[in-house]
Structure 1
Amino acid sequence: MKFLYTLMAVVILFTGCKNEGKEAENNSSMEKNPYGEEKNVLEADSAAIDIHPISHATAVIDWGDHSFYIDPVGGAEAFEGQEKPDFILITDIHGDHMSVETLEGMDLDGVHIIAPQAVVDEMPEELKDIFRALENGATTRVLDFYIEAIPMYNLPEDEDSRHPKGRGNGYIVERNGQRLYIAGDTEDIPEMRELENIEIALIPMNMPYTMTVEDAADGVLAFAPDKVIPFHFRGQDGFADVEKFKKLVNEGNKDIEVELLEWYPNSEE
């Protein structure tokens, strides 16, 4: 009988240790994947983002099997041979960003146009219906792209500013983890410095309209995109020194790729 009690005790102890081992194993598994099979993780988008400069601040973006335009100006003929856009982003009311004539010459059937309210207010009535007004901080979706309006403005803030806060939009365009930042006409503002996880950034640098090369480099180093592309760099005194910008950025962070594209094909620079 004594032998039987001893045998039962050993069996109970073994079973308890085995169950504790399973529980520990299950807990370890849950820590690695607490949401099990139901966790929804978006795979990073492997589609290439190809930026085709048209002029100054105007570009065509081919992103995988979709295309969109930034600030289309220069007449519809400037976009001959380009893919029809799925949507258009307009940043501000100035003539180097907004052109009613250019829009009227395009096939806009089925095209979404996102812009600040100040731009919508400048449109003729026959175009307003295809516009979607977006204020600073707001987000909208077109197809599988999420578009967030980011403030763009001059410093210091005052009522005589060429670009007062709240009138125009910069944009973050995001698709499955890839984030493209289009700064618009801005200076080295806190909202830009606080950005995170930007793959490509389009940054202006022309005085007195946006910021100096030095300020642009400081701002880029603060939020450290994977790649930065200078654009909108023709000012009152000619072209900003984008080579100096590249040097300053790479001296501060060698991991940031600086790509120089041809934004002024008809210039003698």
Structure 2
Amino acid sequence: MRAVRLPPPAPVDNLRLTTLPLPPERDGWVRIRVEAFGLNRSELKLRLGLSVGVTFPRVPGIEAAGTVDAAPAGSGLVPGQKVVAMMGDMGRTYDGGYAEYTSVPLSQVIPVDTDLPWEVLGALPEMVQTGYGSLTVGLALGPGQSVLIRGGTSSVGLAAAALATWRDATVLSTTRRPDRLALLKEHGVYHPCSTPVKSRPLYASCTRTVSTPPSTSSARRPRRPRGPARPRRSRRAEQGDARAGHAPLAAGQRADGDAVSGAGPARAHTA
């Protein structure tokens, strides 16, 4: 089979198209005929040598879409069935999706019933998993709640918006390009927000769309004026004063005995 293989971490030119043996059938593993696979930032980190626990040479790819070529007895999978696979050290400790065939643990395989073209289906697994995991495990988003999605026109942002709408949540999404606001509306975003300049507050244009602006503000509140800080003295120094017969300093009193104008009750101050 043909596969893209990476020797030890190196520039992108070191990704080589090569010929490798077909992965053998293994108990508890599914061999997939790969039709499409997505590109992920994880693979960039792997190529740069920033991933932990990776062995080389390696066929990268943490996701793939295709059909079952061989499956364990009793798995419920049949040859030719459409499936996707992702994560679980795929493309890290065993060869991943950058190949015509890949073999992955049964637990990493998800059957799918879809008429989507392969080039679309191949881009979904990790993208949808990221959006779904963020909304459910990360936020426990429920019906009637609201969620703000930064970078709403990215692939993960659009997937998260669709999933949040499916969960009956109110979706706000941001984009730096005002010409993409209509795109967000088309994908079910209830409140598209434009933030074209990085220095603008987070809700710069959302407040013109949402009837009740969020109470959160990115602007800092002014600090209240403070009185002069009491000179810091360690507990050891105060114990030494007590042994020497000196009374500890009172609030608003300097070591020379003079009062400090405007001093309030003793309190801890930070610089």
Q: Aligning the two structures, in what range does the TM-score lie when normalised by the shorter sequence?
A: under 0.3
Give the structure with higher Rg (CA).
2
